[in-house]
Structure formats: structure tokens, C-alpha cells
Amino acid sequence: MTRGPLAAAQAALSADRAAADPAIWITRLPDEAILAQAQALEREGPRGRPLWGLTAVIKDNIDVAGLPTTAACPEFSHMPAGSAAAVQRLIDAGALILGKVNLDQFATGLVGVRSPYGVPRNVFNPAYVPGGSSSGSAIAVAAGIADFALGTDTAGSGRVPAMFGNIVGLKPTVGSVSAAGMVPACRSVDTISVFAKTVDAALAVERVIAGFDRTDPYSRQAPAGFMRRAALPADLRIAVAEVATLCDPPVADAYRRATALFRTTETVDLGPFLAVARLLYDGPWVAERTAALRAIVVEQPEIMHPVTRAIVAGGLTRKTVDAFDAFHQLAQARRIASELFARCEALILPTAPFTPTLAALQADPIGPNSRLGTFTNFVNLCDLAAIAVPAGFGPDGLPVGVTVIGPAWSEGRIAAIADAIHRHCVDGLPPAVIDPVQSDETALFCIGAHMAGLPLNPQVTALGGRFLRAARTLPIYRLHAMGNRPGMVRVASGVSVAGEVWALPTAAIGALLAQVPAPLGFGQALLEDGPCLGFVAEALGVEGTPDISSYGGWRAWLAREGHA
């Protein structure tokens, strides 16, 4: 039976008492206010609201009507005129807001210790940092207080604390979620992010908060259906990297186990991305942080946390001429990323290279924080989406994690990869939720190079295609090899041909067909479970080509020929 809002509120209050960690919170609603909110939702009923009765906390650099916004700086505290656009979408979807949670001041840091409101306790070992800057958001979910949380992510703040809390952190495509009502860090690359216990739960929240907002100049029009959940193909090409010298051994070991789940991998050079990552704290984006807080840095520096002040004040001396060098370097890295994702469905990396202790941060407030951004700093700069998931535990009992990274607007597709890793490492997760074909989509049966992991699959994914399932035709076809792709012809009696069903935006079907050379085209393919639009060939067009029907499918033919 689905838990109602009142039971959810009572469970949240009980978990908060059990955690007994006041540093999670900056402003928590009183018990009676939370229960009254829950009772009102209970009386109203679901009304079709997708987040009805789910408990949520909000990072305190995001506005919530009626609660102060502090960004973890008491002197900055102010009462907003209303809720941030993303928060209002949560409320309208039936979510139960518990309060505002702690963060590294002004969202500057990946450690979670730079706050005058205290340091939230790492739920696995209090001697270690909770991660930041979204420290309270991650800990509230990890401790079972909230079903989900909103954080923000500029350099990894929505991913690093997810690893330390053994939860999921979804970093959306920059501009997909309105930043209106969020205190900016680096305005051009900030995004509101989501913490939850599963990939599907995080994706459900992102579906609610995403949307174009004309009041946010960095908001972008999204392609239709980019958050629809794909299934995991049996074959796909994954990009990996040599990380052993960059990580502590438990992280490197977990990374090897996670990437071993995928049969086809390509090892890539991380050098250009690591160089761009360094720019976020040693380049023009430091000055962007300074610009967001210029009045405070210049007129009230004493109100800032000492480490935050030292970092942000550094932007005052940055030179424009150096900024253009950085912009050109970033353009090259973006080009490399674009070419990578034309070949590979996703890049998998460790989420963070290690988990530092509080003592290490006390001794060196900057160094460990900088190392934590090794695999995260470049992602927003390169306009990529990412989902961080748990990947097991090290011998010290601390959780480790990996992040699945894809191009902008790939959240629904990379969710399948992230979820597969999570399920491999964690038992008892609820069944995956794969979106069926929607009213604005068309199912397409692919039999050749357009299948997952094969050379022409990027033509499908670039148009918004998502994998649904493996399938076979009725035994009424012959299959022919036509160079780098197959031709399938219907006959009176033939073989069953293996392929894949993909969902494409109906508006994109013509664009894909325009890339298909004659004598191939689209027609009705009769599958074992019913008819489907599919790749077919004209009978005259396959005359004289090798009949490969006995292999039962293109992948088997490639394997036989040594091409797979």
C-alpha cells in the first residue's frame, strides 16, 4: 500500500530525531507545521500529483516562500518574495517540504565543512566529511529523513556528497531546470540538482522541476522526451578511463567492477577534461563566482567564511586576456566531448577519487577539496548531464560511487546505465520504471548498424531515440548483407530476425529516413508481439547480395565475420 502524506511526515520526523544532527538544518519547519501540511495533503488526496506526499528538503541557496534564504551566511539572510520556480513545481506536484538545509557557504566547496551552521555528520563515519556543497541535502536523504532533496551543482556539488551518502545524485543538463530563485555560484554553469535513493526516483523529481522559464536568461528549450526512461540494451559502447593513479585503491577497484558490467568499452584520454576541470577554480569561472558576490566581497568580506572569502576574493585579480585563453580551451574540450558521444553512449568515471577526513580539511582547507573535483569539475563546463550512483563499499566501510556522464539532454538514456550499475551493487531496489511509447513517439524496429553500440546508432540517439527492448520478427524474412548494413525482405517462409525496438519522436522519423540509402527504407515489420515500423529492403535491391539469414541477425553475422 502506498504511504500517505501523514505517515510520510511522521516517518521523516522520527528519522530526524534518530539522526539527532542539527547541522543538517538551517531552517526546519516546526513539527506541527509539517504535520499540518501533511494533513492538508491527505485531505486533498493525490489529484494526479506525481510527488504527492513525498518528503523533500531544499538546499538553502534556493528560495522557499516563508523561509529565509541564507546560503549559509547569516548576514546574507533574507526573506524571498516567493518560492524558486523549481520549488513551486514541487509544491504543485504534491511534495511535502520539511525545511532548508545546510551547505558550503555560497555553494563554494565540495566538502561540506564551510558553514557557520556546523558540519552535517557523515552517516557512515563521523570522522569523514559529508561532502558538499549540498551537504545537508545529501545527508537528509542518506539518513532517511527526506525521500528526495534539491541541491545545486556547479563543480560536483550534486554528485560528490551523493557518493559519500551512498545515494543517487542527478545533475541535469544546465538550463533544463530554471535557476530563478537560486543564489548563483557560477551563473552560466549552475544547475539545481536532485538527490534520491534510486535513479528512477531522482528522474521522477527532475521531470517535475524541469521546464523552460523565460525569466531565467540561461534557461533552454529542451527536446521533447529527453527525460523519458530508456531500457538498457544488451550491447552498447561505453567510454572508460585509466583512473588508478587518480584514485584511492577502494575507488579504483569499485570503478573496475562497475565498468566490467559492459562488454564493449573504449578507453579515452581524460587529459583535456582534467585540464578544463582545473579552470573552474583556476580560471575565469572564479571571477564569475566573484561577480555573483561582488557587493559582499568588496563591501562586507568579514561576513564570509574565511575559506570561502579567500577563494571568491581571488576572482578580483583575474585578467580578461586569460579568460579568452580559457574559453578557447573549453571550446576544444567540448568538441572532444561531442566526438566522444558520437561514438559512445556514455562516459563512466569515479564520482570522487577519495573521501577525506575532517582532520585532513582542518590541516589543509583547500587541497583535499580541489582533488575531490577531479572527475566532476569539467562536466557542467562541457555541457553534459550526469548521474552519480552507489558502487559498493571499500574495506574501510565507506561508500564509493561512479558517475555516468552523457551529452546534454541524455538523462533518460543514461538513467538506464546508471540504474544497471546501482542494481548490480545494491539488492532490493524497486523494479525499474521504463516509459512505454508515448503519444508523440513512434516505435521503430532496428536490425542493423542503427542498433545500440553499432556505428549508426548515434543517428537514432541524436534524434531523441531511446531503447525499449530486444525483439524478433516472425519467421517470414530473409536477411542479406549489403556492405555495412543488412537488408531484410519479407518472404512466404523464412527466419526470425533479431533486432531492437527503439522509441523515436514521431517528428524525427522523417529526418532518420532521409539518412537511409535505397534500397533500404521503412515499412511494417511483423514482430513476434505484433507489427512495428521497421527497416526493410526492396526485394530487387538485395539481389546478388549474400544471404545471411542462417545467422538470425546482424550482430551474429558481425561476430561470425570478426567485426564485433
- Catalytically active residues, by annotation: 59, 133, 157
- What cell does 258 get? 562497475
- The alpha carbon dihedral of 39, 40, 43, 44 has a sign of negative
| CA–CA separation, 350 and 372 (whole Å) | 10
What is residue 62's DSSP assignment?
A: B
| CA–CA separation, 562 and 451 (whole Å) | 17
Sheet holding 466-472, edge to edge: 466-472, 498-505, 441-446, 530-537, 520-527
| CA–CA separation, 399 and 331 (whole Å) | 35
- What cell does 139 get? 545527508
Phi, psi of 52 (to 5 degrees): -55, 120
Classify residue 321 by burial, with Cβ atoms within 10 Å: 0-12, 13-18, 19+.
Answer: exposed
Helical pair 199-209 and 85-92, crossing angle rounded to 10 deg: 110
Residues in the chain: 564
**CB 475: neighbour CB atoms within 10 A?**
15
- What cell does 279 get? 579552470
- What cell does 290 get? 566573484
Verify cis geometry, omega within 30 degrees of 0, for the bond prior to 133.
yes
**Is residue 541 within 8 Å of residue 495, measured between CB atoms?**
no
Nearest to 409 by CA among 169, 210, 234: 210
**CB 249: neighbour CB atoms within 10 A?**
11
Residue 135's alpha-carbon distances to 24, 119, 130, 160, 174, in angstroms, are 8, 8, 6, 9, 21
- What cell does 475 get? 519467421
